[in-house]
Amino acid sequence: MTKRSLTVLFMPESAYGPTNQCIGIGRVLTERGHRVVFASSTEWEGRLAPLGFEEDLVDLAPPPEGPQEAGQFWADFIRDTAPVFRLPTVEQLEGFIQPTWQALIDGAMYCEPQLREVVARVKPDVIVEDNVLTFPALMTSGAPFVRIVSCQPLEMTGPTVPPKFSGLPAEDASAWADFRAAYDRIHRPMWQQWNDWVVSQGTEPLPALEFIHTSAAANLYVYPQEADYTDIRPLGANWFRMDSSVRQTDDAYEIPAEVLNRPDGSALIYLSLGSLGSADVELMKRLVDVLGRTPHRYIVSMGPQHSEYTLAPNMVGAQFLPQTNVIPHVDLVITHGGNNTTTEALHFGKPMILLPLFWDQYDNAQRMDELGFGVRLSTYEFTDEQMFDALARMLGDRDLQARMAANGAAIRVRDGLRFGADVIEAVGLGETPPQTPDQMK
C-alpha cells in the first residue's frame, strides 16, 4: 500500500553544518515523494530550490543593505570573536558561548512572526528543527515536532558525562563541577529571560539551562555507536541515533594529478577547518607553512578568505570542496572537529588530527583523542614537532587504520541518513518510528 505524501518543514540553523545535515535527509524524503520545505534564513535564497526543495525563508535580523553569502552572519560573528578562541574553554563561556546564545535568541525572537506565517502557509504534517534553540512558532503549530541534534552528543547533558563545550575528558571528572558552576553563573539570567519569553509565546517551560525543548515524538542525533556515550549516559526511548548522515548532493570530485601522483611513503590528507574556522587567515597560513614542509600531499578547503593566502606546492584546494566526495580518497583528515566533518570521517573510516576552535569542537576533539580515533592538538599553540608527530602516529599505525576501516564499514551499513528519514516519515504518518536501523523500511 502506498504511503500518503507528507509536507515536511525543515528549519535548520543558518550555518552550513545543520543545513547540509537537513539537505541530506530532505533529499531522501523528496525521493520518497514527500514535499520538503525549508524555512531557512534568507541568506540561503536560491541555494535550496535547485536541490528539489521549496524555499519559504525568514530573516533572523533586519535585512542587510546588499546581498550576503549563505552563513555570512555567523562567519562575521566568528571573525569578530576569534581572539576568544585562544582562551581555555571555561574562559570562552563569557567571551563566546554566552554571546552566541544571545545572538541566537535575538534571531529567534526577530523571526517569530515570520515563522508563524510560514507555518500557516505551508501547513506541515511534521516539523523538523535542527537547531540548538527552540522556536515557539514550531512548537505550537499543532504538527508533530522532530528535533535533530547536529552537535556533539554531550548536547544531551547528564551528571555522568562531561559538561558540553568543556572539552574535558570522560574518565576524569575532577574539573566538571567547576565548569558547570561557571556555565550556570554566566548563563542563568539570560536563560531565565529566554524561558519567560518562550512560555509567553505558548510553549511549555524549558528544562533548567536548556535553550530548546525535547520532542515527545522523536529526537534524532548524529554520532556513531562506536563513539557514543550511551553506555554511561543512556537516553530515553524517544531518542534515535543516526550513526552518520552523509548527504548525497555533493558534486563529484576528481583528485588533481599534482596530489594524486605523489612520492612513495607519502599520504594524501584533507585539511578543513570548516566554513567558519577557515576564516582565520593567520591560522590557515600557519597550517600551510607547517604542512607544506612535510612529504605528504594535501587537499585544502580554503574557506571564505581563500584569496588572502596561498597554498604550498604540495597542496591543491578551493574555497569550497564537495567534502563527502573528497574524504573517501584520503588517508587522514585534519579538522576543527565540527560534528559533520568528524562523523563523516568516521563514516569513511579515516583517522583525524583535530584543532578545535569553539562550541562543541572541543568535545569532539577530546572524544576522538580518548578513543584513539584521532589526536587533539592545541589549535594555536601546537609546535611543528607536535604536528609532525601526530601525522606520523596516525599514518603509521596500521592497526588503527584497519580498526577505522572496519568501523566505517559498520557505520555505512547502518545507513543513518535513511534511518533518520524513516523516523521523520513515521512521525508524520502517525506511526511508531523504528528503534534501530534493523527495523528500517
Question: Does residue 427 fall inside a structural domain?
Answer: yes
Q: Which of 152-161, 247-256, 265-274 has the lowest mean pLDDT?
A: 247-256
| Same-domain pairing of 230 and 370 | no
| Same-domain pairing of 25 and 73 | yes
Question: Does residue 2 fall inside a structural domain?
Answer: no
Task: Give the model confidence (pLDDT) of 301-315 as tens digits.
Answer: 988 777 778 999 999
Query: Given pLDDT bands bounded at 50, 70 and 90, which one contains residue 1?
Result: very low
Q: Which amino acid is at 227?
A: A
Q: How far is CA 379 from CA 88, 255, 267, 305, in A?
A: 11, 28, 22, 19
Q: Which of 81-85, 345-349, 400-404 has the lowest mean pLDDT?
A: 81-85
Q: Which of 191-205, 346-360, 425-439 has the lowest mean pLDDT?
A: 425-439
pTM for this entry:
0.91
| Same-domain pairing of 371 and 424 | no
Question: Does residue 330 fall inside a structural domain?
Answer: yes
Q: What's the whole-number mean pLDDT along residues 177-187?
A: 98
Stronger pLDDT, 114 or 260, i.e. the higher one: 114
Q: What's the whole-number mean pLDDT along residues 162-175?
A: 97
- Residues in Cβ contact with 185 at an 8 Å cutoff, skipping those fewer than 6 apart: none
Give the model's pLDDT for residue 274: 84
Cell of 20: 547540509
| Same-domain pairing of 177 and 101 | yes
Q: What's the whole-number mean pLDDT along residues 49-70?
A: 82
Give the model's pLDDT for residue 252: 83
Count the residues in the chain. Answer: 441
The values of phi and psi at residue 127, to 5°, are -115, 135
Q: Cα(96)–Cα(100) distance, rounded to whole angstroms?
A: 6
For the chain, the average pLDDT equals 91
| Same-domain pairing of 182 and 163 | yes
| Same-domain pairing of 285 and 159 | no
Question: Does residue 252 fall inside a structural domain?
Answer: no
E-assigned strands of 377-423?
none
Burial of 323 (0-12, 13-18, 19+ CB in 10 A): buried
- Is residue 2 scored above 60 in pLDDT? no
- Residues in Cβ contact with 358 at an 8 Å cutoff, skipping those fewer than 6 apart: 78, 84, 85, 92, 96
Query: Given pLDDT bands bounded at 50, 70 and 90, which one contains residue 78?
Result: low
- Is residue 423 scored above 50 in pLDDT? yes
Identify any residues that bridge with 128 across adjacent strands, giving them in sequence order: 10, 146
- Is residue 51 scored above 70 in pLDDT? yes
Give the model's pLDDT for residue 69: 62
| Same-domain pairing of 179 and 146 | yes
For residue 290, the domain's CATH number is 3.40.50.2000
Helices (H) and strands (E) in the chain, counts: 14, 13
Cell of 164: 558540553
| Same-domain pairing of 241 and 211 | yes
Q: Cα(376)–Cα(374) distance, rounded to whole angstroms?
A: 7
Question: Does residue 345 fall inside a structural domain?
Answer: yes
State the first-to-last Cα distance of the chain, in angstroms, to the nearest integer. Answer: 13
Give the model's pLDDT for residue 77: 64
Give the model's pLDDT for residue 439: 63
Question: Does residue 378 fall inside a structural domain?
Answer: yes
Query: Given pLDDT bands bounded at 50, 70 and 90, which one contains residue 249?
Result: low
Judge contact between 375 and 356, C-beta under 8 A: no
Q: Cα(309)–Cα(305) distance, rounded to whole angstroms?
A: 8
Give the model's pLDDT for residue 404: 96
Stronger pLDDT, 425 or 72, i.e. the higher one: 425
Structurally, how many domains does the chain consist of?
A: 2
Question: Does residue 34 fall inside a structural domain?
Answer: yes
Domain that holds residue 358: 257-413
| Same-domain pairing of 243 and 261 | no
Question: Does residue 1 fall inside a structural domain?
Answer: no
- Parallel, antiparallel, or unpaired: how do β-strands 145-149 and 268-272 relate? unpaired
| Same-domain pairing of 197 and 225 | yes
Q: How far is CA 50 from CA 44, 85, 226, 320, 383, in A?
A: 11, 36, 35, 18, 44
- Is residue 331 scored above 90 in pLDDT? yes
Q: How many CB atoms lie within 10 A of CB 317?
A: 21
Give the model's pLDDT for residue 293: 95
CA angle at residue 364 from 308 to 343, to 5 degrees?
85
Burial of 410 (0-12, 13-18, 19+ CB in 10 A): middle
Judge contact between 151 and 339, C-beta under 8 A: yes
Q: What's the whole-number mean pLDDT along residues 347-372?
A: 96
- Is residue 21 scored above 90 in pLDDT? no
Task: Give the model confidence (pLDDT) of 79-123 as tens digits.
Answer: 676 778 888 999 999 999 999 999 999 999 999 999 999 999 999
| Same-domain pairing of 234 and 111 | yes
| Same-domain pairing of 284 and 404 | yes
Query: What are the residue ranges of helices labelled H in 201-321?
Result: 257-260, 274-277, 281-291
